[in-house]
Amino acid sequence: MEVRSRHPRKVLLVFGPGVSESDGLLAGLAGKGFDLVRVSTVDNAEAALRRSSISLVIACPEAASAAVERLVAAVRRTRPGIPLLAIRNRHSGDPESWATLGIGVLRCPLLPDALFRSVEIVLGLKRSG
């Protein structure tokens, strides 16, 4: 007998080149009820946004600032309103314009479960907003 959850799993789009230093954090999300779709280019991200019911986008720390900004533009073109979290290194010097673009920034090193809690909070704000 198959048991189905009343709440469908949320799909998160993870943007970053190949293996990431945040892979351990991301694996924790998969174990807590999220499905992860990994992409390494903005074009692939845009295609995934068009074909999947993505709830949130996460940019890995290895993604260049310019690529993250192109990712924001892709989200706005295809699925406006989807939140984007960027995991960044402590001293990465990201553009101040990110706040106006609506990019949430999490600084490494992250405490255990910090990414999970941040995703839950952002998705909760999206539902209530």
* pTM of the full structure: 0.89
* 85 close to 110: Cβ distance less than 8 angstroms: no
Domain parsing of the chain, residue ranges? 10-128
Residue 95 token pair: 């553009």
Q: How far is the C-alpha of 122 from the C-alpha of 95, rounded, in Å?
A: 21
- Residue among 17, 27, 79, 71 nearest 52 (CA): 79
The alpha carbon of residue 107 and the mean position of all alpha carbons in its chain are separated, in whole angstroms, by 14
Domain 10-128 indexed as CATH 3.40.50.11460: yes
Per-residue pLDDT of the chain (129 residues; tens, 9 = 90+): 444 455 678 999 999 987 677 788 888 898 888 999 999 999 999 999 999 999 999 999 999 999 999 999 999 999 999 999 999 988 888 888 888 888 999 998 888 789 999 999 999 987 665
